[in-house]
Amino acid sequence: MIKEPKHDPKRCTQHIMSVHDAMYILNGRWKISIIASLCFNKLRFTDLLREVEGISGKMLSRELKNLEENQLVTRTVLNTQPITVEYQLTEYGHTLKEVIDSLAKWGANHRKKISGKE
């Protein structure tokens, strides 16, 4: 007979709190898309604006600032005319790549399941 593991409320609470912490940082409509775009390459602000469909410049700026404050993204101002700004994931930001890849895989499978094309 297989014995069910005993429910550990403290461990469960810690797990849920960790999920809440992650969701607090990655919340909103745009952050995950921005991070996913930066997983492959550093991008200029205008390139990110094109790649993350539907986001306004003001919102992109706000989200990038927040990601920078959370040490997930770095901002580099290049000495060009006009001034160019590039964004890239930090080493710490790259630790989210596995999470993003898992979300992408789950999303693709979900789309197949819902559309009946499994």
In whole angstroms, give the CA distance from residue 75 to residue 102.
26
In whole angstroms, give the CA distance from residue 107 to residue 102.
8
In whole angstroms, give the CA distance from residue 39 to residue 51.
13
Cβ-contact 65, 49 below 8 angstroms: no
pTM of the model: 0.83
Predicted local distance difference test score (pLDDT) of residue 2: 65
In whole angstroms, give the CA distance from residue 35 to residue 71.
12
Q: What is the dihedral of CA 36, 87, 29, 103, to 10 degrees?
A: 10
Q: What is the pLDDT of residues 61-98, one digit of tens each?
A: 999 999 999 999 999 999 999 899 999 999 999 999 99
Cβ-contact 48, 60 below 8 angstroms: yes
Q: What is the pLDDT of residues 16-58, one digit of tens each?
A: 888 898 998 999 899 999 999 999 999 999 999 999 999 999 9
